[in-house]
Amino acid sequence: MSPVETVAAFIAAIEAKDVDAAVALAAAGISYENMPIDPVVGHEALARTLHGFLAPASTVEFRILKQWTFDRTVINERLDRFQIGDGWLELPVAGVFEVDGDGKISLWRDYFDMGSYTRQFAKLAGR
């Protein structure tokens, strides 16, 4: 798979809420960096984090609005959508992915506004 195909498969696994499939596409030392918080490093931590944020959502969709590939780096502007209860949480994100020589994702760095996430989550989850 090319880097862009690897990222597409990774995102498809997340949308399917298939954490094992997502982790299988990640390098053992993956650094998953949500910029407002500390990096999550390695398969176990990645799986735990993915389970945490996918669990409340009945449907998950990462809409890729624009995407660019430079060598082994894939960058996208996305609208990440999570169906929670009767509504949708929608989050604009800029993502940077690096794919290593073995075709595994070694870096996933997302830039977004945490407050946009938490305010919508609180409303939808009724908390």
Question: Nearest approach, Cβ of 75 to a second copy (angstroms)?
Answer: 6
Among candidates 89, 80, 84, 79, which has minimal Cα distance to 57?
84
Checking phi first, is residue 114 left (phi over 0); if not, alpha (psi -120 to 50) or beta?
alpha
Q: Is 53 helix (H, G, I), strand (E, B) or coil?
A: helix
Contact status: 53 vs a second copy (CB under 8 A) = no
Binding segment toward a second copy, per CB under 8 A, in 1-9, 17-25, 54-62, 64-72: 64-72
Binding segment toward a second copy, per CB under 8 A, in 42-50, 53-61, 81-89, 110-118: 110-118
Q: What is the CA radius of gyration of the chain?
A: 14
Q: Which is closer to a second copy, CB of 23 or CB of 107? A: 107
Q: Which is closer to a second copy, CB of 28 or CB of 79? A: 79
Contact status: 114 vs a second copy (CB under 8 A) = yes
Where in 68-87 is the site for a second copy (CB under 8 A)?
A: 68, 70, 73, 75, 77
H/E stretch holding 96 reads: strand 87-99
Tokens of 46: 């990645």
Using CB under 8 A as the criterion, which residues of the chain lie in contact with a second copy when the complex forms? 35-36, 66, 68, 70, 73, 75, 77, 92-94, 96, 109, 111-116
